Chain A
Amino acid sequence: MGEPAVEARGLTKRFGALAAVDGIDFTVERGECFGFLGPNGAGKTTTMRMIYRATPVGGGSLRVLGHEVGRGENDRAIKRVIGVVPQEDNLDQELTVRENLSVFARFYGLRGDVARRRIDDLLELAALVEKADSRVQMLSGGMKRRALIARGLLGDPALLVLDEPTTGLDPQARHDLWDRLRVLKRRHRATLLLTTHYMEEAERLCDRLVIMDRGRIVAEGAPRALIERHAPGHVVEIALEDGDGAEGGAAEGGGAAAGPRAAAVQDLRDAAERAEVLSDRLLLYTGDAEGLIARAAHLLPERQALVRKATLEDVFLKITGRRLIE
């Protein structure tokens, strides 16, 4: 039982010349919620697909719930103990919610009264009792996602893999789903593995996470610890406009020609411990937010400035120089 839920060493997957997953190491402990955070195309979904046995392992080693993945000889045993909530809605549109669950119950060897009880429990957990006999087509996006989660839980999995569980949902449905996933984690002690490109989702749900970019893991740890390490303190965020002189390394090349505000921007950058310039914003990382925002109000009174806590988005920005969602 002490064995990790998932253990990857030098895990690789290539598609032609592209290394979708480029030699990554990670360990998911049992009972934790472990996240893969990164932009689209970072290799998160490919990593998931190797774990839930939808695609062969390209290279390196991978152990899932005590089974060596190897060339697929343990696939059936692995798939019996993991549940998968895919990114896309692949519910059976021609069936009702209950019929969807019945078909999948059989795949997990459940039948008769045992299957019926399990399906009733899961319909309740997913708050779909009233929609049980509706065709899947009639459900809202949030309901479909809950139906997918119920389907993923049919086999009473030791590991539940959620690929972008709230992508495409409206904010209300997203928060509702987060609550449900937290309940699931608390009550059922299942190991959760999720991918997301929403830093808020990762921060709220994950005990630990890795940040992926271009097939590699660029950071690993608990969300708060990652923020403490890479983007400590607060962020002063100033809205900029064209010609404010923050572009292209500010003062070096410009001087007076860069515009009257360039000197002010440079002054603020010097006062912060670290600064990032985005297309429309200046981010100043500092331990003294109050002092810096007062200074900004004085130097750039016509620009909006606000103070916020640093997030995983800031961590990603610092490590990769790019934003999570472009």
Chain B
Amino acid sequence: MIRLPGGADLELALAVWRRNLTVYRRTWVMNILPNFFEPLLYLLGLGLGLGAYLEGGLEGRAYVAYIGPGLMAAAAMNGASYEVSYNVFVKLHFARLYDAYLTTPASVPDIVLGELLWAVTRALMYGLAFMLVLAGLTLAGFPMLTSPTALLLPLALALTGIVFALLGLIFTASIPVIDLYSYYFTLFLTPLFLFSGIFFPTSRFPHGETIAWFTPLYHAVRLARGLAQGPVGAEHAVSALWLAVLAAILFVFVPGRMARRLGQGEGPSLGGF
């Protein structure tokens, strides 16, 4: 038995992870296709379509190369976010699976860690599939992955996945009804997607850069672009650290919030008496 900080047990967390893998293997065709193709369509539509009209490219690179790494970060964000939103909500409230898990030696931190590991797995699946597309385009002559530091991209994608998995888990543990996810996706993730420097520099708007600095996708995009195309500088280390610190802070809070939702805190149980 491997005990982790926060009291989680890796064996028990992996049992949760394996359960998700079992279900996913059965439904991946339905699940992976739309989620994975969305950023790919942006890459083709905007990168090759709109990009053709932007003759000078952006910041010294072809437009499709400018948006490629950021869309890869967004793919990781989406992979994690879809997992920890609807899927976890259903297990929490409708299927009452966590109530069942908690009657075994598993505890809330084990379950949270298991879901987190699975969300990161999906973030990596999406991110790495996107990276393969970028690698293929690089071979086809598009300067997508041009720096040796691109080998570190999987780490950046995992970090991106962890941050968005934890943010999504906090939201999931805080909402009483499933309909509220439209707020999370439309008013939180979509603005991040548009204004984090994927499609144009954040400095396009007054204070844009300053505001974006305080949001997670900005750092995920900056890190991905730096590692993919170089040159890597101090600002990329800052972004990696920024994401890691946010992940560490969120990791402390998520189990407690989830425990309260599961009637294990001091408040009344949602399950009745």
Contacts and interface: CB of A to CB of B under 8 A. Distances in A.
A155 B264 contact: no
A140 interface: no
Given A92-B95, A104-B104, A109 B273 contact: no
Contact of B103 (A52, A56, A94, A95): A52
Interface residues of A, number: 37
B12 interface: yes
B104 A155 contact: yes
A95 B22 contact: yes
Contacts of B19: 92, 95, 103
B102 interface: yes
A90 B95 CA distance: 6
Given A41-B273, A49-B269, A95-B23, A109 B11 contact: yes
Contacts of B266: 56
Contacts, number: 84
Interface in B34-77: none
Contact of A90 (B96, B107, B268): B96
Interface in B252-266: 263-266
A43 B105 CA distance: 24
Nearest to A41: B273
B96 A106 contact: no
A99 B22 contact: yes
Chain B: interface secondary structure?
A: loop
Interface in B4-30: 11-12, 14-15, 18-19, 22-23, 26
Contacts of B18: 103, 106
Most buried by A among B97, B100, B271, B272: B100
A245 interface: no
B267 to A, nearest CB: 9
A242 B26 CA distance: 62
Contacts of B273: 15, 20, 41, 43, 45-46
A107 B263 contact: no
B99 interface: yes
A2 to B, nearest CB: 25
Interface in B157-180: none
Interface string A7-19: 0000000011000
Given A92-B95, A93-B95, A108 B105 contact: yes
B17 to A, nearest CB: 10
B263 A86 contact: no
A200 interface: no
Interface in B103-150: 103-107
A80 B103 CA distance: 9
B96 A45 contact: no
Contacts of A80: 105
A107 B1 CA distance: 12
A83 B97 CA distance: 16
Nearest to A85: B103
Given A41-B273, A54-B99, A90-B95, A108 B22 contact: no
13 contacts: A54-B269, A54-B271, A55-B269, A76-B107, A90-B95, A94-B23, A99-B22, A103-B15, A103-B19, A107-B101, A107-B105, A107-B106, A108-B104
Interface of B: 11-12, 14-15, 18-19, 22-23, 26, 95-97, 99-107, 263-266, 268-269, 271-273
